[in-house]
Amino acid sequence: MANKNWILMVTAQTPTNIAVIKYWGKRDETLILPINDSISVTLDPEHLCTTTTVAVSPSFESDKMWLNGKEISLSGGRYQSCLREIRRRANDVEDEEKGISIKKQDWDNLKVHIASFNNFPTAAGLASSAAGFACLVYSLAKLMNVKEEQGKLSAIARQGSGSACRSLFGGFVKWIMGKEANGSDSMAVQLATETHWDDLVIIIAVVSSRQKETSSTSGMRESVETSPLLHYRSKEVVPKRILQMEEAIKTRDFPSFAKLTCTDSNQFHAVCLDTSPPIFYMNDTSHRIISYMEKWNRSQGTPQVAYTFDAGPNAVLIAPNRKVATLLLQRLLFYFPPSADTDLSSFVIGDKSLLKDAG
Ligand code: ADP
Ligand code: DP6
Ligand code: CO
């Protein structure tokens, strides 16, 4: 490797995921081990995804990263964990065309440059940390010829951001909390592929793309420390709900799916209110959207639309098919026209191709 004039690059794209049974609370902050299982749906990568390019060259003097065009520090434990775990599993890489030959042991000394872009708001409650860290781990693993299966990679992405482990699979995904103290069994598994329930349509109402005041990481830390409701939720409520949700997904039972999704989102936000001092992720527009959906569902006697809100004010609405989705969009445009008054800026619509495979 006397020649220092080469550079090897890999680009990957990873979609975000939205939890329908939420992860909120860690039992281990460093390894990122959760206090309950969670289930999510992976979104259409065209609309909400991260694109990350990782490059290696002997001329690079240190690991560096740019997020949405701005240099960020990699000194945080999460980035270091991901880099360390991937480097540890690196293999030989040969690129005959470029005359590059990297040996397994070279990776310890080679530095990487990482450039990542989110095509949706960062740190606004649309799971940028999920798409971001999944993409980081996936692209580094490709660059360094890591041969681990997807589940093992998910356990590494988990150490970047918990929700990221679920973005390495398409379709419906469960993050199994695991029992081991070292986190070896805390990883994501695919419950159903992206084609299993492809009638579903997701519409995201971007209520605000501003960065939230309380990051998910600090919000859930405060909830673990102060909310009695969270402990009740993780022990008594979520385990049963996970089984019911798995069944609803398996049988494509939309009314049950919708009921569980809405109830779980509401309990998560109740936990935020039960935290001291309380955390407000939703705003007036979010609350008005909930009231409207509840009224609509009640008027029909059976759920027409599911809603869920992550740690931010943006609404994720799930319709059972295109017909209801069209109606939903018409109603949203009528009752919630994007305007400065409501903060509502746009709607992002996922097609039936919305449940795509990651990577
Ligand atoms: P969100 O609701 O968007 O997931 P979080 O508070 O969970 O918000 O996480 C936001 C943080 O995730 C950002 O401040 C940044 O540190 C990290 N992040 C976001 N996007 C990326 C990315 N593409 N690559 C690496 N890290 C990212
Ligand atoms: C409300 O995965 O962003 O979106 O693990 O600290 O990075 P860290 O937190 P993060 O939390 C996500 C919380 C949530 C629910 C969910 O995605 O399950
Ligand atoms: Co996040």
pLDDT surpassing 90 at residue 130: yes
pLDDT surpassing 90 at residue 225: yes
- Kindly give the number of the ligand 1 atom that is closest to the alpha carbon of 52: 23
CA of 213 to the centre of ligand 1 (A): 13
**What residue's CA is closest to ligand 1, atom 24?**
132
Phi, psi of 44 (to 5 degrees): -60, 120
Around ion ligand 3, which residues have CB less than 5 A away? 129, 216
* Predicted local confidence at residue 359, as pLDDT: 35
234 lines ligand 1 (CB under 6 A): no
Distance (Å, rounded) from C-alpha 320 to C-alpha 315?
A: 16
Residues 320-344 have a mean pLDDT of 85
* Predicted local confidence at residue 356, as pLDDT: 34
**What residue's CA is closest to ligand 1, atom 15?**
129
Write down the ipTM of this complex: 0.99
pTM of the full predicted structure? 0.94
Distance (Å, rounded) from C-alpha 171 to C-alpha 310?
A: 18
pLDDT surpassing 60 at residue 19: yes
**What residue's CA is closest to ligand 2, atom 6?**
217
For the chain, what percent of residues have pLDDT higher than 70? 94
> What is the dihedral sign for C-alpha 136, 139, 144, 146?
positive
pLDDT surpassing 90 at residue 178: yes
Could you tell me where the beta strands, DSSP code E, fall in 298-345?
A: 306-309, 315-319
Could you tell me where the beta strands, DSSP code E, fall in 167-266?
A: 172-176, 187-192, 201-206
Mean pLDDT of the chain: 92
CA of 161 to the centre of ligand 2 (A): 7
Query: Any idea which of 166-175, 291-300, 347-356 has the lowest mean pLDDT?
Result: 347-356
* Predicted local confidence at residue 39, as pLDDT: 98
* Predicted local confidence at residue 358, as pLDDT: 33
CA of 311 to the centre of ligand 2 (A): 8
Ligand nearest to the CA of 309: 2
Bond prior to 320 in cis (omega within 30° of 0): no
Ligand nearest to the CA of 124: 1
Per-residue pLDDT band at 355 (split at 50, 70, 90): very low
Of 159, 167, 136, nearest to 33 (Cα)? 159
Distance (Å, rounded) from C-alpha 19 to C-alpha 310?
A: 8
* Predicted local confidence at residue 104, as pLDDT: 95
* Predicted local confidence at residue 103, as pLDDT: 95
